[in-house]
Amino acid sequence: SYELTQPSSVSVSPGQTAKITCSGDVLAKKYARWFQQKPGQAPVLLIYKDTERPSGIPERFSGSSSGTTVTLTISGAQVEDEADYYCYSAPDIQWVFGGGTKLTVL
Amino acid sequence: EVQLVESGGGLVHPGGSLRLSCAASGFTFSSHDMHWVRQVTGKGPEWVSVIGTAGDTYYADSVKGRFTLSRENAKNSVYLQMNSLRAGDTAVYYCVRGNGLDVWGQGTTVIVSS
């Protein structure tokens, strides 16, 4: 079975750049997506096809890919960006998810 | 506005059943696959099931034979019938639009406990 591995936590100060990685063999052949999850709220798609940003998502969120690792970058992180972030991909009909990264901005 | 609203969660004893519903609005429901994804608090999500536009269904091995997913396009709704529930099924269940899981509902909580 496929696995996606993320760091459990990342911390930055407001205005700094946060980078969250996601690694897994499936990423060498399938696109990754990222969503943001805040307590009590529906998850929100941030990035699709490794690097594409849906309309309405701030430009400070960006994605990149290299081999079996994808990276979510938040340039100039803001306090409201404090949340859990998950990567996911679809090796077949099923989707696989990373374990999530808690971003602290303080 | 594209929206998914889940309902039907609750507390159930092991071996019991629940039926989750998901009402969709703001998009052409019949043109999209629909998924259910569940998440235990503090853990990564787990994909559960998908129903295609033609009604074809697929399930995670962990729920195969116990869960049944159906859709009713006239009501813009999908339904997840969950039988023989176990403690390990305890989670928040999200209804998610296909197209790369691009829109998620708020979730409904299922607790399986004696």
Check CB contact under 8 Å for B47 and A94. Answer: yes
Distance CA B3, CA B1 (A): 6
Per-residue pLDDT tens digits for B48-103 = 999 999 999 999 999 999 999 999 999 999 999 999 999 999 999 999 999 889 99
> How would you write B20-84 as a 3-class SS string?
EEEEEECCCHHHCCEEEEEECCCCCCEEEEEECCCCCEEECCCCCCCEEEEEEHHHCEEEEEECC
Confidence band, pLDDT 50/70/90 cuts, at residue B42: confident
Check CB contact under 8 Å for B101 and A45. Answer: yes
Q: Which residue of A has its CA nearest to B33?
A: A93
Tell me what pLDDT residue A91 has. Answer: 86
* Strand ranges of the sheet holding A69-74, from the earlier edge strand across to the other edge: A18-23, A69-74, A61-66
Model confidence at B27: pLDDT above 90: yes
* Residue of B27, B102, B108, B109 to mutate, interface with A, max A Cβ within 10 Å: B102
Output B79 or A91, whichever has higher pLDDT.
Answer: B79
Tell me what pLDDT residue A92 has. Answer: 86
Residue A68 near residue A23 (C-beta atoms within 8 A):
yes
Q: Confirm or reject contact between B46 and chain A (CB < 8 A).
A: yes
Among A57, A58, A50, CA closest to A22: A50
Query: What single-letter DSSP state applies at residue A81?
Result: G
Residue B108 near residue B8 (C-beta atoms within 8 A):
yes
* Residue of A95, A96, A101 to mutate, interface with B, max B Cβ within 10 Å: A95
Per-residue pLDDT tens digits for A35-83 = 999 998 889 999 999 999 999 999 999 999 999 999 999 999 999 999 9
Model confidence at A1: pLDDT above 90: no
Average pLDDT of chain A, as a whole number: 96
Tell me what pLDDT residue A93 has. Answer: 86
Check CB contact under 8 Å for A97 and B45. Answer: yes
Tell me what pLDDT residue A50 has. Answer: 97
Confidence band, pLDDT 50/70/90 cuts, at residue A19: very high
The burial of B94, by beta-carbon neighbours within 10 Å (0-12 exposed, 13-18 middle, 19 or more buried), is given as buried
Interface of B with A in 79-98 (CB under 8 A): 94
